[in-house]
Structure 1
C-alpha cells in the first residue's frame, strides 16, 4: 500500500500556454444577444474583456509560484491521485483545518484567507486562532486525477479526505470547513463521524424547508425562500445539465477556453454579491486563475461530472437527521440558498455559532475574506 505524500511542483510547459493564447486569439465570438443585461447569461463584452486581460497582462507564472509556495503536494487514496495544498502554521498549537472548495471554484478560493488563518498574530488574531491548512482539489477538479469509472461522489470523497488528514498526521484532532460541494463533503464527514473530526463550519447549507417552515416563515425567511425559488427558476440550468448530461457539455469545455470561461463566469455573475459584476469585488486576474485551474488540466468535463455522480448518490439516499458534530454556520447575503438561525438549529445537533455577514455571496472567502476569517475563528474557538 503506497501512502506516500509527494511534492507536486507545478510547471506548465510553454507550449501549452502558447496553445492557449492561440485558441484565445482565434475565438469565434457569438452575437451580443437580444438584451443589454445578464438575464440571458454572461454578456459578450464582459467575456471579451476577460479574454483581453487573459492574453495581455495576466501572469500565470506568478500564480504557479504561489501554488508551489503553498506546499503543492499529491497523494493517491483509494486508487485516485489527489492534489492538495498543505500550509503549516508557525504556531506550535495550531489546529489542522481541512478547507474544501466547490464548483466553479478551486483551491484558489482560499488564497486571501491562507495568511490570516495560518499566521493569525500577523493579521489581528491570537496564536490560539492558528490553523494548519489542508486544501485539496475535489476528484476531477484542478490537478487531482479524473475518475475513470463511476462512484466518486460526495461520500467517497469525504472518506478520501478523512484518509488524507490521517495520512498527514492529523488524525487525532482536526476540523473542517466548506461551501458549495465543499459544504456537502464537510457535512458528510460530520455525519460519518470521521475519526478525529472535532467540528465543522459551513458557509452554505444544503437543505429543503419543510411545509411547516414555509407556512410559518417570517418576512426575512420569506425573502430567503423567494431567493431560492429565483435561483432554481433562473440560475440553475447549469446544474440540471451537469446532473444529467455532462458529456454533452464536455466537448465545448475541453476545446474552447473562452467557452469554458463563459460557463464558469456565469455562476460568479449570478450568485455573488456583486450585482452581476463579479469584477467589482473579485480581481479579474483571480477569476482568470480560477478558469486556468479548469483549463490547464482539462478539468472542465470531469468537474461537471461530479454533479452527475452526486445526483445519483442523492437519489439513492444520503444521511438524514441533524448533523451530529459541533458546527458553525455563516450566511452571506448574496448566497441564493440561505437559511435562518432557527431553521439551522433544527438541522444541527450542536450549533455553536451562527453568523450573518454584511456583504458577500456564494464565494465567501473571495468576496468577504475578513468576515469568513472572523466566523471560522469564532466557530472553532468554541471547540477548543
Structure 2
C-alpha cells in the first residue's frame, strides 16, 4: 500500500468551461434518422426511444441546474486519498451519535455516490456513513494503472476504513457493490460486523451461471428461473461491451453526452421497478441527471467500463463472506428468489418488497434505510 495515508478534503467544483462545453455538445447533437413508427416515448423494445431521449437531453441542456445539485453534494464531507497509487474519492458523513456504527455503502455501475444521496440523511442517526467510489468511477479518476479489479479494490477499501479510524464496520452494497461487500467479509472477517445486500428479481438470472442451481427445484421452478434468465439476456449487451471492449464503447461515451445519457438512462427503465414507467418516473429526474453528469464531467463512462473488463478477466471467484452475519433486502421480489438463492435459509435476515428494483437507494430509500437499521440492530451484530 502507498505510504502516504493523507486524507485530503474535497469539494465538487466543475469548471464553468466544462458546463458550457456540455451544453454546446447537447445543442449540436447529431441525431439518428428515426425509424418510422418509433414515436412512443415508453417503448423501450429497441433500446431507449429517440423521442424520449430528445426530451431528456433538452431538459439536461436547458433546465437542469448542475450548480444547485453540486451544492447539495457539497453538503456532505468528502475526501480523497491515494491507495496503491490510485486516487479514491470518499464521502464521509459522521453521525452526531457517539455510539454510531461505521457503515460503508458500496455502489456499482451505472451508479455513483450520488445514488446514496437520499439515503444518507436517513442513516446518520445511527451510522457514520462512508461511500468510496471504485477506481474509475466519479472522482476516483483518472485510473492510475490497469489491474484494478474487485480484490485489489476491496483491499483498498479496507485500508480507507483504517485511515478514517474505523477498525470494525458494517457494509451494504448492491450490483458490483455487492461483490466488494462479500469480498470484504470473506477477506477481512475480523473487521466486518455484518453485510447487507440490496438485490432485485434480476438476481435470479445469476442462478445457473454465477450461482449453481440448488438441489430439489421442480421442473416448473427451473422453467421460471430460465424465463427470468431469458428476459435478462438482452440486458447483457452493455455487460459484454464493458467486459470485453471497454475502449470501443469508452470513446463514444467520452465524446457524446447524448451517448452517455442513453447508455445509462436506459438502465433506469430496464432495471428499475415498475416496467411501465420511464426512467425519470422510477427515480427523481434531477438525481438521475446528476449521476449521469458526474459520469460525463469525470469521463468515467470509459474508465468505469475498464473496471468491468478487469473483473471479467481476473479469474476471481465470487466470495460472500459466509462467516459474517448477512442480510438481504430484495426489491421487486420474485417468489422463487429465496428458494433459489438461499434454499437452506442460512441467511438470518431476509426481507422482500414488492416495490423498487435494482436501484433501491434511489427508488425506495425509506424502505432500504429501515431494513439496514433493522439488520444492524439485530442480536448477534456487535462491534465488540
Cα 1:368/1:321, change in 2 over 3 Å? closer
Q: What is the CA–CA distance in structure 2 between the aligned matches of 1:84 and 1:24, rounded to whole Å?
A: 30
3-state DSSP of counterpart to 2:298 = coil
In structure 2, what is the equivalent of residue 364 of structure 1?
A: 360
In structure 2, what is the equivalent of residue 269 of structure 1?
A: 269
Q: How far has the Cα of 1:340 moved from its partner?
A: 2.5
3-state DSSP of counterpart to 1:84 = strand
- Which runs of structure 2 are paired with 1:55-94 in the superposition (5 Å)? 55-94=61-100
- Which runs of structure 2 are paired with 1:231-380 in the superposition (5 Å)? 231-232=232-233, 234-275=234-275, 276-313=277-314, 316-319=315-318, 323-333=322-332, 340-345=337-342, 351-380=347-376
In structure 1, what is the equivalent of residue 119 of structure 2?
A: 113
Q: What is the CA–CA distance in structure 1 between the aligned matches of 2:170 and 2:296, rounded to whole Å?
A: 31
Q: How far has the Cα of 1:347 moved from its partner?
A: 8.4
Q: How far has the Cα of 1:223 moved from its partner?
A: 3.8
Cα 1:227/1:24, change in 2 over 3 Å? same
1:202 aligned to which of 175, 197, 205: 197
Q: What is the TM-score normalised by the length of structure 1? A: 0.89
3-state DSSP of counterpart to 1:176 = strand
CA contact (8 A) 1:272 1:334 kept: no
Cα 1:62/1:218, change in 2 over 3 Å? farther
Q: What is the TM-score normalised by the length of structure 2? A: 0.89
In structure 2, what is the equivalent of residue 54 of structure 1?
A: 60
Deviation per CA, 1:288-326: give whole Å up to 9, x if none.
10101100011110011111011012xx23155872211
Task: Determine whether 1:166 maps to 2:165.
Answer: no
In structure 2, what is the equivalent of residue 124 of structure 1?
A: none
Cα 1:79/1:148, change in 2 over 3 Å? closer
Q: What is the CA–CA distance in structure 2 between the aligned matches of 1:377 and 1:217, rounded to whole Å?
A: 36
CA contact (8 A) 1:201 1:329 kept: yes
Task: Determine whether 1:146 maps to 2:142.
Answer: yes
Q: Which moved more, 1:11-20 or 1:203-212?
A: 203-212
Q: What is the CA–CA distance in structure 2 between the aligned matches of 1:76 and 1:44, rounded to whole Å?
A: 41
3-state DSSP of counterpart to 2:361 = helix
CA contact (8 A) 2:198 2:331 kept: yes
Q: What is the CA–CA distance in structure 2 between the aligned matches of 1:146 and 1:182, rounded to whole Å?
A: 20
Q: Which moved more, 1:270-279 or 1:19-28?
A: 270-279
CA contact (8 A) 1:97 1:131 kept: yes
Q: What is the CA–CA distance in structure 1 between the aligned matches of 2:46 and 2:238, rounded to whole Å?
A: 13
Two-structure CA RMSD over aligned residues (Å): 2.3
CA contact (8 A) 2:79 2:90 kept: yes
Q: What is the CA–CA distance in structure 1 between the aligned matches of 2:377 and 2:223, rounded to whole Å?
A: 32
Q: How far has the Cα of 1:140 moved from its partner?
A: 0.2
CA contact (8 A) 2:183 2:321 kept: no
1:4 aligned to which of 3, 6, 16: 6
Deviation per CA, 1:199-219: give whole Å up to 9, x if none.
100113695347753861586
Q: What is the CA–CA distance in structure 1 between the aligned matches of 2:330 and 2:190, rounded to whole Å?
A: 28
CA contact (8 A) 1:162 1:194 kept: no
Q: Which moved more, 1:184-193 or 1:146-155?
A: 146-155
For structure 2, the 5+ residue unaligned runs are none
Q: What is the CA–CA distance in structure 2 between the aligned matches of 1:249 and 1:191, rounded to whole Å?
A: 33
Deviation per CA, 1:143-180: give whole Å up to 9, x if none.
01232432101111111111111110011x20001000
Q: How far has the Cα of 1:334 moved from its partner?
A: 6.9
CA contact (8 A) 2:47 2:266 kept: yes
CA contact (8 A) 1:6 1:73 kept: yes
